[in-house]
Every structure is written in structure tokens, then in C-alpha cells.
Amino acid sequence: MSEVTYREAVRMALREAMTNDPRVFLMGEDVGRYGGSYACSMGLLEEFGEDRIRDTPLSESGFTGAGIGAALVGMRPIVEIMTVNFSLLALDQIVNNAATLRHMSGGQVSVPVVIRMSTGAGKQLAAQHSHSWEGFYAHVPGLKVVSPATVVDARGMLLAALEDPDPVVIFEHSGLYNSKGEMPDPPPKVDLSTARIAREGTDVTLITHGGCLQRTLDAATALAERGVSAEVIDLRVLRPLDWDTVLASVARTHRAVVVDEGWKSWGFSAEVSARIAEDGFWTLDAPVRRVAGVEVPIPYPQHLEQASIPRTPQIVEAALQAVGRG
């Protein structure tokens, strides 16, 4: 075991992928000489050169389209979009091209492109850099959408995504880059199909992903001090969702709380809650509860920003309501 940061885990994956496969290259704004906006590619330009670490113009649609084109002819591009909000400038390329070309060509072409982007609030980067659009991309058939919350997944999911013949969108929460965790030696292989039970429990299931995982685990610890045993599921993969793990947990605990940093209305938490109601209704002993972002553009002031996203006390309160103690 060795302790590494989340950004170091991403860098490990980038280095390993480019060392092992000459088709892999990284492209995006400031990924080269600057070392990446979150320092994930620091030092890789000197190691692999400008052909494989490519600084791009400030044109998300342009360089995302170039990445898709490279994937179509057999390369394995990693497109880094600085922040999820900027990915909206590349929606046409991601949603209308990457996600659809296999289907529109009748299976004649595949698009093995990996698109990485930071997501989420907590760094005082204001509304145009801090939103959570995971639910939007998870809505789109033809994309795989993953949300690694641990250093092991940050490394392993990127490598697994590069082996996938179809487009994979990876959401890296900006609040996780400085977080640390244990990396086994050798690191385990990670798949893109299963959720993970991060903590076992018997009274209520807490379902979350990405940047909300640690807050949810902290809530489970606080609940245990009050005599409530909470099971925590780290979804990890948002499309396709691992429903077997979710429904089996809810069947054991008979209660569920969904935690998501995105907005509640029409959001990811709504989809998860609806599916539990559809497929697991008769196992429930209480309504599904949701803890989600306040429906405002993410504020800049720190106290307002923290008030706008799910916090541990809110998760605890929702769980207590689910078990009839709220």
C-alpha cells in the first residue's frame, strides 16, 4: 500500500496508459506546459512530448470534435475539458456525434474516446465553474458515465475507459483532487459496470457518488452514534446503473436516501428515486428521501456555496426521517 492523492492517481493512470499504448494521447486546455488546471498532467509533457500531450485552443467544440475524429481512425484520445460547465460548449460533439455514431453507422464505426472533466462545487469558483451535470450526461444513450470517488477508482476507471470501444465520460469532483487514499500494489483492475458498498448497514441505504461519498460516509458514522446502522452505496457508474446492488441493499434495509450534488428538480436523484419506487416499492417501509443541491446557481461566497450543496447534517436528518426518528 502507498498513500497517494486523487490527482496523483489520475496522473498514474495517464502515465501508465501512454507508456503501454502508443495510440493514447491527452489533449485539452493547459494540459501541457501548465500541467493541467488541477495538475493532473504535471510533468507528462516532458516525458511524452508535444505529440502526445497536446495543448489546445480555447475551443471545446473544436478540440472535442478532433478527439472524436482521432478515435474514429483508431487512436485512443483522452479529451480533458477544464470544467463541466465548459463542456456545454461541446454538447453537439458529445451528444450528437460521440454518442450516436455507432448507432447511426449501423455498428460500422466505434468511438473509443475518453472525455474527462472536473465537476462540483466547494472551491469558490462560482457558478460558471462549479455545477454538477452528471445527471444530464447520464441521460444520454450511447455514453458511459462514471464518477470515481476514490484514488483506486480515479486510476482504475480511466484505464478501463480506454479499453472501452464506446465513449466514456469521466467526472472528477474538483474537491477530491487533494484528497488522499491507499493505493494497493499492484493496483486492482476496475470495471465500469458495478456499484460498490462502501459501508455495510441494516437500517437505511444511503446512495451517492463522487464528491458526496465522504460526506455520506461521515453521516453514516454520525448515525451509528445515534443507533442507526446506515449502508452506503457508492454508485461509481452512473450509466449504466448497477440496479442489482441498489435494489438488493434497499430490500435489506427497507429505506433509502439518495444524495446528489446536482439540483433536485428533474435531476439524477429523481431518476434513482423513481427507479426504486418502480422496482423496489414493496420492499420499502418509508418514502425515499433525497438530499440534493439548492436550486440556485452556485454562489461564490464560501458560506453561501457550502449552504447550496449537500452537507453531512442534512444527510443525517434525511436518514433519521426515513427511519422514523426525524
Q: CA-to-CA distance for 95 and 46, rounded, in angstroms?
A: 34
Q: CA-to-CA distance for 129 and 38, rounded, in angstroms?
A: 13
- Across 119-145, b (16+ Cβ under 10 Å) vs e yields bbbbbebeeebbbbbbbbbbbbebbbb
Residue 303 annotated among the catalytic residues of the structure: no
Q: CA-to-CA distance for 111 and 190, rounded, in angstroms?
A: 21
Handedness of CA 115, 120, 122, 123 (dihedral sign): positive
What integer is the mean pLDDT of 42-71? 97
Residue 129 annotated among the catalytic residues of the structure: yes
What integer is the mean pLDDT of 44-63? 97
What confidence tens digit (pLDDT) does each residue in 250-303 have? 999 999 999 999 999 999 999 999 999 999 999 999 999 999 999 999 999 999
What confidence tens digit (pLDDT) does each residue in 125-135 have? 888 899 999 99
pLDDT value at 326 more than 80:
no
Instruction: Given the residues 29, 129, 209, 231, select the one marked as catalytic.
Output: 129
Among 206, 179, 70, 167, smallest CA distance to 122 is for: 179
Higher pLDDT, 21 or 122: 21
Per-domain residue ranges for the chain?
2-183, 196-322
Q: Can you read off the three cell numbers belonging to residue 239? A: 450509466
Q: Which CATH number fits domain 2-183: 3.30.1490.100, 3.40.50.970, 3.30.43.10, 3.40.120.10?
A: 3.40.50.970
Determine how many CB atoms are found less than 10 A away from the CB of residue 295: 10
What confidence tens digit (pLDDT) does each residue in 2-52 have? 999 999 999 999 999 999 999 999 999 999 999 999 999 999 999 999 999
The answer to whether domain 2-183 and domain 196-322 are alike in fold is yes
Q: What average pLDDT does the chain have? A: 96
Instruction: Given the residues 60, 134, 172, 231, select the one marked as catalytic.
Output: 60
Half-sphere exposure of 195 (CA within 13 A, CB side): 26
Please report the pLDDT score of residue 123 as a whole number: 85
What is the CATH T-level fold of the domain 196-322, as seen in this structure?
Rossmann fold (3.40.50)
pLDDT value at 110 more than 90:
yes
